[in-house]
Structure 1
Amino acid sequence: MQMILQQSALSIKDTLEMTKNLNRRINDQREAAALSDCLELMDLAMDRVMDSMVALENLTAQSQFDVHAWLSSVLTNHVTCMDGLNGPSRPIMEPWLNELISRARTSLAAVVAVAPPPPTEEEFWQRSLVGEFPEWVTGSDRKLLKSLPKGVKANITVAQDGSGNNRTIREAVASAPDNYKNRFVIYVKNGKYKENVVIGKNKKNIMLVGDGMSSTIITGSLNFVDGQTILQSATVAVLGDGFIAQDIWFQNTAGPVKRQAVALRVGAHKSVINRCRIEGYQDTLYAHCLCQFYRDCYITGTVDFIFGDAAVVLQNCRLVLRKPMNGQQNVITAQGRTDPNQNTGTSIQNCDIKPGSDLEPVKGLVKSYLGRPWKQYSRTVVMESNIGNLIDPAGWLEMKGTFALETLYYGEYLNRGPGAGTSKRVNWTGYHRAMSEAEASKFTVANLIQGGVWLKSTGVAYTEGL
């Protein structure tokens, strides 16, 4: 396994150098931006390969899961790089990237081959379910999550009126220490902050907390039509592991005519987004990779507005579909799993799926779907959720003809509401209209993202992890 990863690291290093040289010779602005994305993605992939090599020297059950997640993200990063190249650099980059993708697949297959068997159904039910937040959230973080913003004890305060340490969020993030081992709290007072924020890979364990999802607004309008890549269009992009956001409104105001315009992009391992509003149209929330948990969030959009290749659970969230452009269809999810050995997937649990005020009067004229397969092994489940009557009876939509219909995994479990009936759902090989309890349990926080345990203090009704 170490030998496989060493070879991957060498290949990434060589491809990085080649990409830097190519980027210096490209005159096309959009292509240069795509190559810049590739440089960032390969740098992140290199970090995860090196992290995996270290973890494999002293493997535990938890580090085994981390390695699986890290190497899943390596493949995602390489594929994302390839997807962004549509100009003259693609034929040059393609053979290099195909080799990286092949090595990433080999690494994943090796990790799965040496992994301990998953818990039996009986072992799963014996786990104690006593939590609210995943196990990686420490006791002190739980106190923060319950107490903020009142009486907040922040390391840095951001306020537009000058009453804090900084006037912009970008300044606050820049002043946070790199690779900080403890929680670093940035409190953002109420106001509308017009800025694009990147929380880089070295800004670990940052907690961004506001005065409420209607009070503290981070807004931007970068988009694909005006020349940004999808990655770079994000109003807020998060790469630092251990990130927590609470009581923030993430917004991209580009509008539907600007196509892809991301409000929040997350590629941080073990991240928690709690009580936040994430607002856009197409591609609102880019859950790009690694393990993520969204709780009590309000997420709006039109086309593929929750997309990416993370292992992500969205629980107790409101998913609000907006009015798209004429001729467009609404699709909630576009999950991007490209290999059956990736531990990624999107789990929507106990959420409320409904139309926004602009869609409500015309919902009968706009077709809306739960998801469509962005990639070959797309994996999405909707469980214990309230599905409004805006969802088409077919439930799910093809991406392109028969692509991925036999290899995807889409499932529904104990949903309710006028749109929850499955009798007229699609009849695809990979669609599971009535998941068993044991099958559904694979997509809980305990299993999909190894969150471990829930805290009972939430008061949310659940049984045996579902």
Structure 2
Amino acid sequence: MSASVVTVAQDGTGDYRMVQEAIDFAVPLCNTRRIVIRVTPGIYKQPVYVPKTKNLITLAGLRPEDTVLTWNNTATKIEHHQTSRVIGTGTFGCGSVIVEGEDFIAENITFENSSPEGSGQAVAIRVTADRCAFYNCRFLGWQDTLYLHYGKQYLKDCYIEGSVDFIFGNSTALLEHCHIHCKSGGFITAQSRKSSQETTGYVFLRCVITGNGGTSYAYLGRPWGPFGRVVFAYTYMDACIKLVGWNNWDKVENERTACFYEYRCFGPGSCVSKRVTWARELVDEEAEQFLMHGFIDPDPARPWLAQRMALRIPHSA
């Protein structure tokens, strides 16, 4: 079944003027057909909510630099067209964009929380949905920029920036060929796996990590949950990364359970010999499970990621 396509344009030349209008009116409840929402260039200042009842949505822009979804909520100040009973409160409810509908795709879109530095938790996007994919997107903010809360997600060719815990949550996510930028001293990841039985974790594969000048001021991550699991593989790390690499969140007991791994990374911030003793370099056999799409798409009988890639639609189509 072919996808249905609608257009959002602020100047009134499309089917809708705002992204939320397209979600509310163009996507039927419990839809079984993919809806492509083409978003024309512009800065769209409005919180966006994709509810659990609306799956199979694609947001497609032309260039992420030109198509920006932005809002300025913080954990202590939430203004949203939905009630807090629907979207939640605190960090959970403050996302500029909140995605709870499964099988969501975004391409060539910027997701921004425009709150200034020092505003505390200020999420650009929260993803609480399974089988979601992001291609050539940007995620802009300071603290808690990208909340990969639940489900399985794939991010490719994306740019993510922030300072404190700016990629966090307890989903199973593969970030491939992404650019991670540390705007100031802090922590890149805060993964919250709570037990060794959970299959969640974040894998950064062939990524690039940069910083705003200076040396040794950012950690690769800290465990928000005691079994937090993060892998950096074949990733360039510039001098912004602290040589110790990882932080225990001021809890020595986390050192016994956190799973923080690196594999064949390089660059001035990748000095394995200086890392904390409770993080380690994987050997080839251990790394294999993290280097393939099977980490987030483990069922060969029901693959989802290849289908997402096939669904990428040129904006001019």
Between the aligned partners of 1:343 and 1:181, the Cα distance in structure 2 is 28
Deviation at 1:385, TM superposition (A): 0.6
Alpha carbons 1:313, 1:444 under 8 Å: kept:
no
Counterpart of 1:304 (choices 155, 165, 179) is: 165
Return the match for 2:34 from 168, 176, 183: 183
- Matched residue type, 2:42: G
Query: What corresponds to 1:171 in structure 2?
Result: 21
Cα distance in 1 between the residues matched to 2:176 and 2:34: 24
Identity %: 35
Instruction: Specify every segment of 5 or more residues in structure 2 that has no aligned partner in the other structure, as ranges.
Output: 79-88, 310-317
Question: Does residue 282 in structure 1 map to residue 143 in structure 2?
Answer: yes
Contact 2:76 2:90 in 1 (8 A): no
Aligned twin of 1:112: none
Task: State which of 271, 278, 283 in structure 1 corresponds to 2:132.
Answer: 271
Aligned partner letter, 2:189: T
Counterparts of 2:269 and 2:262, CA distance in 1:
12
Q: Which residue number corresponds to residue 125 of structure 1? A: none
Give the equivalent residue in structure 1 for 2:222: 372
Cα shift readout 1:373-397 (whole Å, capped 9, x = no counterpart): 1111111110011111110110111
Report if aligned partners of 2:105, 2:134 keep a CA contact under 8 Å in 1: yes
Q: What's the counterpart of residue 339 of structure 1?
A: 195
Are residue 420 (structure 1) and residue 270 (structure 2) matched? yes
The answer (yes or no) to whether the contact 2:4–2:34 under 8 Å persists in 1 is no
Cα distance change, pair 276–154 in 1 and its aligned pair in 2 (3 A): farther
Does the CA-based 8 Å contact 2:109-2:137 persist in structure 1?
yes
**Residue aligning to 1:257:** 118
Instruction: Name the SS of the counterpart of 1:240 in structure 2.
Output: coil
SS in 1 for 2:58: strand
Partner SS state of residue 226, structure 1: coil
The aligned counterpart of 2:254 is: 404
Partner of 1:143: none
Counterpart residue type for residue 185 of structure 1: V
Alpha-carbon separation, structure 1, partners of 2:139 and 2:114: 11
**Corresponding residue to 1:197 among 45, 48, 73:** 48
The residue matched to 2:243 in structure 1 has which SS? coil
Q: What count of residue pairs does the alignment treat as equivalent?
A: 292
| Counterpart selection for 1:450 from 288, 297, 312 | 297
Answer yes or no: is 1:319 the counterpart of 2:167: no
**CA shift for structure 1 position 322:** 0.4
The amino acid across from 2:287 in the alignment is: A
> Structure 1's 181 and 444: CA in aligned 2 closer, same or farther, altered over 3 A?
farther
Q: Could you tell me how far 1:401 is from its partner in structure 2?
A: 2.9
Q: TM-score, normalised by structure 2?
A: 0.88
Q: Highest Rg: 1 or 2?
A: 1
Unaligned runs of 5+ residues in structure 1 are 1-137, 141-152, 324-328, 459-466
- Relative to its length, the structure with more strand (as a share) is 2
Which of 438, 446, 453 is 2:285 aligned to?
A: 438
**Match of 1:397, SS?**
coil
- CA RMSD across the alignment: 1.9
Q: Is 1:154–1:187's contact at 8 Å kept on the other side of the alignment?
A: no
CA contact (8 A) 1:308 1:334 kept: yes
Q: In the alignment, what sits opposite 1:291?
A: 152
Amino acid at match of 1:195: Q
Instruction: Name the SS for the 2:286 alignment partner.
Output: helix
Do 2:4 and 2:33's aligned partners in 1 also have CA atoms closer than 8 Å? Answer: no
**2:124 partner letter:** A
Q: AA paired with 2:235? A: S
After superposition, give the CA deviation of every residue in 1:179-208 in whole Å (9 maximum; x if it has no partner). Answer: 222211011110000000010001101001
